[in-house]
Structure 1
């Protein structure tokens, strides 16, 4: 409970102290057409791994760091590509999200970030209950649907 409260306070403070926020999410689909998803301790649903970009941090570095911390995937910069840029104004009027795709990775057996309750690879055509609308939309876009400007 304390972790959930701390995370909520942190996220709200982060948004209040900045005019705009920038986040990254990572799309990692393996050869068996399974997608990497995470379930956080502080928000409902299954999401693509990702997080906020810190001041002075490049978005690619943030994406590599977040997918490592949240899902244990080790991705080299040359194995990442920027897919799309979205706004998430429903959550915060200045929020932007960059979607990167990991094309190849290794896996680390280290512990995941404390805010991750579960993570794993799931078949794209059999996603876990609670997979978010935005996650489903990004997967549809990766399969050829038009890219939406909103997250």
Structure 2
């Protein structure tokens, strides 16, 4: 056994810590959820202006799928009944260097209690062609990509 293989189990945590500091990568998730009438679920945060697709950050030790299911429950009171389907991946470099966002689609769901704890001001269902004026441009693009089959833009 070479010396490199002997020290690898001890060196790996340090190397990964350096990678995290140098790379600074973060990962977020958002979900497109529609009701039986084809309306899209949006949320309005207490700390941001505008309407957004529900979602948030992927926590340490959590998969992206688990994060999107958790965020839907917390922010919007929606319990996914089927596995979220990955629609696209995006860089959010313009707003948050090193940030990436995965967009999921949740087709089967049921209402449940929300535990947003003051994070969400309002939850609403809107026709894709009649979104609130304050819906963010990125949210509008993601909805068009997910529902109308437009080619996903790699930038958020």
- TM-score scaled to structure 1, two decimals? 0.84
Residues 1:135 and 1:88: Cα distance change in structure 2 (over 3 Å): same
Question: Any unmatched runs of 5+ in structure 2?
Answer: 1-20
Aligned length: 135
Do structure 1's residue 88 and structure 2's residue 92 form an aligned pair?
yes
Residue 70 of structure 1: SS of its match in structure 2?
helix
Identify the residue that residue 80 of structure 2 maps to in structure 1. Answer: 75
Q: Please give the per-residue CA displacement for 1:99-137, whole angstroms capped at 9, x wherever unaligned.
A: 010011000144534210001111111111200001100
Cα pair 2:90 2:154 within 8 Å, conserved: yes
Cα pair 1:79 1:105 within 8 Å, conserved: no
Do structure 1's residue 51 and structure 2's residue 61 form an aligned pair?
no
Residues 1:113 and 1:26: Cα distance change in structure 2 (over 3 Å): farther
Q: Please give the per-residue CA displacement for 1:54-108, whole angstroms capped at 9, x wherever unaligned.
A: 11111100000001100000003x3411111000001111000000100110001
**Structure with max Cα Rg:** 2
Residues 1:111 and 1:19: Cα distance change in structure 2 (over 3 Å): closer
- For the aligned residue pairs, the C-alpha RMSD in angstroms reads 1.7
Runs of 4+ in 1 over 6 A off after TM superposition: none
Residues 1:49 and 1:149: Cα distance change in structure 2 (over 3 Å): same
Residue 119 of structure 1: SS of its match in structure 2?
strand
